[in-house]
Amino acid sequence: MYTPWGIKGRNDNLIQMIQNEEKRTPFFIGISFIAVIISLFDFRMLPFDTAWVAIFLCGVPIIKGAVIGLVTEFDIKADVLVSIALVAAIIIGERFAAGEIALIMALGAYLEERTVAKARAGIEKLVSLTPATARVIRNGEEMIMPAEQIRLGDTLRVLAGETIAVDGVITKGQTSVDQSVMTGESLPVDKGEGDEVSSGTVNQFGTFEMRALKVGEDSSLQRMIRLVESADAGKAKIVGLADRWATWIVVFALLTAVATWLFTGEVIRAVTILVVFCPCALVLATPTAIMASIGNATKYGILIRQGDALERLAKVKRIAFDKTGTLTHGHPAVTKIRSFVSISEEELLEIAASAESLSEHPLGKAIVSYYKREKGKKPDAPESFCMIPGRGVYGEIGGTKVYAGNEALLSENGIFFGGEISESAEGERADGSTVIYLGIDGITAGYVVLSDTLRPDAAITVKQIQNSGMKTVLLTGDATQAAAHIAGSVGITDLHSNLLPEDKLNAIANFTARGEAICMVGDGINDAPALKAAQVGIAMGGIGSDIAIDAADIVLVGDDIKEIPHLLHLAKKTTKTIHINIAASLLLNFAAIALAIPGLLNPVLGALVHNAGSVAVIIHSSMLLNWRKH
């Protein structure tokens, strides 16, 4: 499709010129509209026909673009026929027809420009996650050097809060690592000697040393950047219908016009055919419907970033969901407190909140937040406090020694586990929850259960999607137990867990290879390649990362997944509206041609007839603005 002020993609200078001119497009279209209306009346006091204003502002750029496309690439698009009709109308003195055609085509092009892909910076943001420097130990000395100079086998020291520069294995120390960038997991993962860590993930607590196993372009984060780039390049862009059929339209229109001229000897009939054959309504058929649908979606907190996303979404047969942050809220919350001694659950919560009150760990913060919400006050701080990376916390509260953490913490401090407690806790973990044990004065008093809670509308949303005839699948980097619990809760039977970003991308590719158009719904950086590669990518805008949002075609601004069924219905309705617009515009064109051949239409009447078709298309499309399936 031509652009209103030139052709994109020729060279950098031309692109810059186009971008500058496009900023003035609405103003020029408005001036041209007024000029065309004035030219309908015979104002003798005006020194010239005002239709020339529309011809110059809207028509000349179309002719220029058509010539550039033909000369440089022999690219026959809809603007070729428009240019021929414009020039022919001017030659025979039908300036109103020429101005009207230029105005309508410029308006259609402007609307289409508003619906195409916006500039995105997702890859640059991924690159920014890679640390510029790292602490490398060589010959017993620690030195800070550029990350790209790290060699295979180097020993690195990573402090609390630092991002890990390369892939490797921990050789000394214990910590918790936020690896949501790679797996999407909402909770930090405890790591110790012998455990692997990935580039781009963040060391939460303590200091550890590691041996570099994958450096430079082989690291996990660099692989993800390449995946995002390749997925974006591989996603086909939908070409405007008028341009897709442009060659045949041009050939048929010219042959019909020439044949009419030869048989009748009247050039005005040939020009009328060219005028009525101009694909104005065809050009408006798609962008007007999409613009109206974008306005509709905005009312429900849905931002459509790619103009052709709705057309693609209408063809989708399966929807893939990420788990953490998509079907769930994406952060841990206290779901249960269990006491195995005479201490009540309320007292156990107060002790746990007090012990964790100075903790920086997300699980500890979640316990404190829950206590504040339930009790309406802050917990008392412990008299002494110690955080043990990879284990938990220790604190003295009113002279009582309290340990809050995992099994290893209690075992290392001689606190015994009973069979009933272990069995009960194992049941909680089987549901994908995390258990924080509480050791008080040498005994296991109970535990606090935390889990990533399900969004309230998740189950009904999945059911509505399935009832519409679409299949669903869960693609997550979480462990199988946690994934299976969530999948069962929402009614998804097709489950894929423990997936890295490339695994999610491969899963999307496998569905696509089977001829199954798929939509991906996700929120994390690890979802970005899959969001790019899917037929349509939908990102959670509130909790989602900027990189996932940049990779997506559609964004749920308020993370309201219950609007996904409306979005699916809207996509199908939009496609149906586009098809009706196209059929009606083609029918009108052929009817006008049938009248133009015997001379029943002149260029001005022809322009008005096909202008009426354009208006009808706009009105029909505008009905999408307030549409919602009940």
- From the list 94, 96, 105, 83, the residue with the least C-alpha distance to 267 is 94
Task: For residue 260, give both structure tokens.
Answer: 């009419």
Cα 513 from Cα 510, distance rounded (Å): 5
Instruction: Report the C-alpha gap between 360 and 518 in whole angstroms.
Output: 40
- DSSP reduced 3-state for 370: helix
Q: What are the strands, taking DSSP E only, across 179-231?
A: 189-191, 196-197, 202-203, 208-214
Find, among 114, 101, 111, 35, the residue nearest to 63 by Cα: 101
Q: Residue 50: which H helix or E strand, with range?
A: none
**Strand ranges of the sheet holding 518-522, from the earlier edge strand across to the other edge:** 302-304, 554-556, 536-540, 518-522, 318-321, 471-475, 495-496
Nearest alpha carbon to residue 322 among 478, 450, 509, 552 = 478
Separation between Cα atoms, residue 185 and residue 497, nearest integer Å: 11
CA atoms within 13 A on the CB side of 594: 6
Count other C-beta atoms under 10 Å from residue 499's C-beta. 22
| Bridge partner residues of 208 (DSSP) | 158
C-alpha 29/C-alpha 328 separation (Å) is 47
In angstroms, the CA 5 to CA 24 distance is: 10
| Strand segments (E) across 359-469 | 384-388, 392-397, 400-405, 434-440, 443-454
Interatomic CA distance for residues 429 and 359, integer angstroms? 23
Catalytic residue among 79, 243, 308, 322: 322
- H/E run at residue 406: none
Q: Residue 166 contacts by C-beta under 8 Å, 6 or more apart in sequence?
A: 134, 147, 150, 156, 199, 212, 213, 214, 215, 216, 219
* Paired tokens of 413: 């401090």
Unique residue bearing structure tokens 């000897």: 265
- Counts of helices then strands in the chain (DSSP H, E): 25, 22
Beta-carbon-side half-sphere exposure of residue 481 (alpha carbons within 13 Å) = 10
Q: Are strands 175-178 and 189-191 parallel, antiparallel or unpaired?
A: antiparallel
Q: Which helix (H) or strand (E) holds 249?
A: helix 246-264
322 is known as an active-site residue: yes
How far apart (Å, rounded) are the C-alpha atoms in residues 550 and 548?
5
C-alpha 546/C-alpha 217 separation (Å) is 23
- Alpha carbon distance 605, 97 (integer Å): 8
Element containing residue 122 per DSSP (H, E)? helix 122-129
Sheet of strand 434-440: strand arrangement: 328-339, 443-454, 434-440, 400-405, 392-397, 384-388
| Distance separating the N- and C-terminal Cα atoms of the chain | 36
Which amino acid, 46?
A: L
Closest CA to 392 of 426, 335, 439: 439
* DSSP single-letter state for residue 527: G
Q: Which residues are catalytic?
A: 322
